[in-house]
Amino acid sequence: MNDATFVSHLECSLSGERFPADTVQNLSQVGKPLLVRYDLEALGQHLTKDTLSKRPEELWRYREFLPVRQAANRLSLGEPRTPLLTLDHWSQSQVTVKDESRLPTGSFKARGLCLAVSMAKELGIQRVAMPTNGNAGAALAAYGSLAGMESYVFCPEDTPDVNVREIALQGAHVWKVNGYIHHCGQIVKGGLETMGWFDFSTLKEPYRIEGKKTMGLELAEQLGWTVPDVIFYPTGGGTGLIGMWKAFAELEAIGWIDSKRPRMIAVQADGCAPIVRAFEDGAEFAEEWQDATTVASGIRVPMAIGDFLILRAVRESGGFAIAVSDDSILTAQHEIAAQEGLLLGPEGAATAAAYQKALKQGLVSPDESAVLFNCGTALKYPMPAVTATIDRHSPLDFSQLDQGSAGTPV
Ligand SMILES: *Cc1c(COP(=O)(O)O)cnc(C)c1O
């Protein structure tokens, strides 16, 4: 079955140069990401909010906003609408968490790879390769196997072991590399000719961003076709931030939301903050960050090809970029887990730490509605050890049991 899609063409995000839709593309002539453009007028006439509201609460409900033409190519591992959760114990102010850890493979990378692999399938691509800090590779492995594709995945050697094992179990060829993610990217580039694979690096193909865009569509719909005042986004390659910004523009173009935009806040870690440095320097592009290190491995990206798109969205929105320490990330993670029962991944916890810091510095006010993005499950990361033990052969002093591991933040 052929459903309508409304894709008109692909467009270079820097030069505006056009490329035909439905063809295999990586970067533009000037080496920048391509964005998918739609006939939004036709889309707006075809689809109503009411039609949409009757569909199952899953990613493909937004199919008219997405590029896949053939229904048979729309891969699914069951991508649910993710909840917006309040943090009433942890905070007195108007803050919620969009919990993306509920997606297949435990991270929002599923949104991007669901789309990218579906499009690769539609375009007849059979072998793909990607550098990853873990979560993207896991999602590629999963959707790649579902699509019957061959996937090659390259991870920095200190990627959490559970990620690497998950990728292998889900059927990809996975290798650990003694370097950072962009060194892994060089291997992908180096193998293009010999291996004949398609380069699935962040923003080096046009469709992952369309999958991430569904976060913006979904958030606006969840809020009754409005947007929050501020969004705190843990920023690595920035696909999600750029994708949401694109979603809001498309929704305004079809008249479903008004011209209000959230202030977009790019959150990074002190140990890897190229976007924050560029933001503060007033630069259009970000320079590579040396010796990147942070517990939040999903945002350990020293160099992002979409740097100027992140910076543009942050600035146009009246937002800012902010870095937080690993200590504050781990403290926020433990506080929220212990007080709310919500275990955030370190990247999500970074947005919580950044929110607190921004409140303290007066950069946001407590009565602005803020949405924090928790992008992956904490269960894929090493957690602090528990050392409390009981010897069942000795008398037990029950009054001492509250001395166990829980309680105070690490
Ligand atoms: C990839 C990733 C990020 C960063 O997302 P981008 O959109 O690439 O900036 C944040 N958190 C987690 C858990 C991730 O896997």
pLDDT at 244 over 60: yes
Collapsing DSSP to helix, strand or coil, 287 comes out as coil
H/E element, 324: strand 320-324
Q: What is the pLDDT of residue 3?
A: 61
200 falls within a domain? no
Q: What is the pLDDT of residue 406?
A: 63
CA distance 232 to 225: 19
194 falls within a domain? no
Reference 79, options 110, 55, 53, 49; nearest CA is 110
CA distance 274 to 302: 6
Whole-number Å distance, alpha carbon 397 to ligand 1 midpoint, is 46
376 falls within a domain? yes
Least confident of 25-34, 112-121, 273-282, 381-390: 381-390
What tokens were used for 21? 């839709």
Q: Residue whose CA is closest, atom 1 of ligand 1?
A: 298
Ligand 1 pocket mutation, candidates 246, 347, 377, 381, criterion most atoms within 8 A of CB: 347
pTM: 0.95
Our answer on whether the CB atom of 235 is closer than 6 Å to any ligand 1 atom is yes
Q: What is the pLDDT of residue 256?
A: 98
Q: Residue whose CA is closest, atom 5 of ligand 1?
A: 236
Interval 48-78: pLDDT, tens: 999 999 999 999 999 999 999 999 999 999 9
Overall average pLDDT of the 292-312 stretch: 94
161 falls within a domain? no
What is the dihedral angle through the alpha carbons of 233, 38, 32, 239, rounded to the nearest 10 degrees? 20
What tokens were used for 278? 């560029």
Interval 248-259: pLDDT, tens: 999 999 999 999
Q: Supply the CATH number for residue 354's domain.
A: 3.40.50.1100
Our answer on whether the CB atom of 239 is closer than 6 Å to any ligand 1 atom is yes
pLDDT at 405 over 80: no
Q: Are 230 and 319 in contact (CB under 8 A)?
A: yes
114 falls within a domain? no
Type of residue at 377: T
Q: What is the pLDDT of residue 404?
A: 72
Q: What is the pLDDT of residue 160?
A: 85
- Please state the φ and ψ torsions of residue 197, each to the nearest 5 degrees: -90, 160
**Number of independent structural domains in the chain:** 1
Q: Which is more confidently placed, 160 or 265? A: 265
Nearest atom (ligand 1) to Cα of 348: 11
Interval 141-153: pLDDT, tens: 999 999 999 999 9
Our answer on whether the CB atom of 107 is closer than 6 Å to any ligand 1 atom is yes
393 falls within a domain? no
pLDDT at 408 over 80: no
311 falls within a domain? yes
410 falls within a domain? no
Our answer on whether the CB atom of 298 is closer than 6 Å to any ligand 1 atom is yes
Strand order in 230-234's β-sheet?
84-86, 95-99, 370-374, 230-234, 263-269, 320-324
Whole-number Å distance, alpha carbon 238 to ligand 1 midpoint, is 7
Our answer on whether the CB atom of 44 is closer than 6 Å to any ligand 1 atom is no
Whole-number Å distance, alpha carbon 146 to ligand 1 midpoint, is 22
Q: Whole domain around residue 89: which residue ranges?
A: 84-105+208-380
